[in-house]
Structure 1
Amino acid sequence: MRGIDELAYQSRLRQWPPLGKFLLTLSLLIVALTTDSILIPLMTFFIGACLLVYSTGLRFPRMIGMLILDGLVVILVGCLVIALITKGGGEVARFDVMGWTLTLDRDGLNLSTLVLMRALAGITIMLAFITSTPVPHFAMALRQLRVPKEIMELTVLVYRYSFLLLEQLETMTIAASSRLGFKGIRNSLRTSSRLAVGLFSRSLSMAERSQVALNCRNYKGDFPIYRPPRRLTLAWVIGPIGLAIIIYIIDNFLEPIWRISW
């Protein structure tokens, strides 16, 4: 979580309007998920990958990279299952595995490929947005949409203090591990329950002390940002929507000529 926050503040796309990036992400996701053509998710994946590379330079923290790879493995396994259980369109390949006969049909391969490209497009587009938009900037940008001030400040408070709770949890986990608290299933369950109770009590104590600290600093219900993000303009409304329409038109033009299927 902290790694994503650091990437967002160091991103080359941080100066773009947060609502503009959100509208671009939403437009690309909608056009990628509402079509039966593989070409549109492929194009949105390429756009998302270019934005992600430009935003971060692929400098992901090790933990974030491992989480991304873990998600990709889950997606690949799911697509393999879809390809095996979906029948129709004619048999493409047959495998004998430990006495089991597995067949791959055209409809299954087409559907699994479509799901895979949709998932990859969604991951790259969402990562490009998350790694380029700090949460406080996005919360402040929501004022342009008339979102209640209390909701935005509550979001910023929860986001900021979640890092402190994560640090507390990490410290408590290290202390419990040094005392062999996670040796064996029984000890692990007991230690995990105690950690949950301890973290809850510490969060209440932290909330009380934080409120006192905020009052001492003349907190009036908002956190000032001295370099506010850029506002959403008409160009940032027309641009993402126009890009989605162009992708859809290109697909309708190229699909009869270059149809991607098995």
Structure 2
Amino acid sequence: MTLIDKLCYTSKLRYTNAGEKVFFSLASLCFCIISRSVLVAVTVFFTASWLTIRKGGISPLYYVKLMRIPCAFLMISTIAILVNISRHPLNAFSIPFGSWYITGSWHGIHQGIQLILTALACVSCLYFLSLSTPLTDIIAVLECWHIPWLIIELMLLIYRFIFLLLEIASSISCSQHSRLGNKNFPTSVKSYALLASSLFILSIRRAGNIYDAMEARCYDGRIHVLKEQHPARQKEILFLILFEIFLFFLTIFHTDILELWR
């Protein structure tokens, strides 16, 4: 079981209605993507983070640890927007490099900040959902929304095989470490290449074994999971409706609000 699953099953929001949590995450994520507004992104990020940490009881240290992964990718990906190589300096900053300039514009910086905040807000919505709702509850919600069963089953199988790959990779890596397979850089490169090839072969073999086990247990093309019913509370529904209405108005009038602040 991964850290996310352990935190999910110990969350205080574990037994909150799953439909509410799925709707909150997806609706807030859609508002972030549609609006591309800094105000909407900041509002969604702090609200989702507050619900995850304060209401869900997740440790802030674990939450920051999980957020470092997307932050690292975002910082690398936004360098192309913030920094340009040009013969002419731009208005934000410029560093001469021969006849060229390593430079950037205020428009590019604004776009980069907007992209980072929007992406972090979307990630916080997904973390809120994954750190408070088990996959079986999400599947139950998708069934109620009449999502095609093929998509749901693919989600379940992919989720299961993530753990399968992690288990095989951990066993191979432990074996390599015990044989000093990472004592220096060339040995480490060779070990990782062997791990990748072995992982591919062993995962196919284990997948075949799992499918045989499923057929031995009367697998008929659908995976059935136990469902738990947690009724929605009026207070939670009211908060959800008011928050999404607030995001809707922010999405429409965010430019006017920024002009008023200026």
Q: So what's the TM-score if we normalise by structure 2? A: 0.73
Name the counterpart of 1:75.
Answer: 74
CA distance in 2, matches of 1:261, 1:76: 28
CA-CA distance at 1:213 after TM superposition: 4.7
Amino acid at match of 1:141: V
List alignment gaps of at least 5 residues for structure 2: none
2:256 is paired with a residue of what secondary structure?
coil
The answer to whether 1:57 aligns with 2:39 is no
CA distance in 2, matches of 1:38, 1:29: 13
Name the counterpart of 2:7.
Answer: 7
Percentage of matched positions with identical amino acids: 24
CA distance in 1, matches of 2:117, 2:252: 18
Name the counterpart of 1:33.
Answer: 33
Contact 2:36 2:118 in 1 (8 A): no
Post-superposition Cα deviations, 1:23-44, rounded to whole Å, max 9, x if no partner, equal 2222112222222542222222
When the two chains are superposed, the root-mean-square deviation of aligned CA atoms in Å is: 4.1
Post-superposition Cα deviations, 1:117-147, rounded to whole Å, max 9, x if no partner, equal 2122112222111211211221232221234
CA-CA distance at 1:175 after TM superposition: 0.9
Post-superposition Cα deviations, 1:52-79, rounded to whole Å, max 9, x if no partner, equal 2122433555xx8555324324424544
CA distance in 1, matches of 2:103, 2:211: 62
Name the counterpart of 1:175.
Answer: 175
Post-superposition Cα deviations, 1:154-188, rounded to whole Å, max 9, x if no partner, equal 54344235324322221111112322334556544
1:34 is paired with a residue of what secondary structure?
helix
CA-CA distance at 1:189 after TM superposition: 4.8
Alignment of 1:81-230 (within 5 A): 81-85=80-84, 93-94=92-93, 96=95, 105-149=105-149, 151-153=151-153, 155-183=155-183, 187-211=187-211, 213-214=213-214, 221-225=222-226, 228-230=228-230
CA-CA distance at 1:230 after TM superposition: 3.9
Q: So what's the TM-score if we normalise by structure 1? A: 0.73
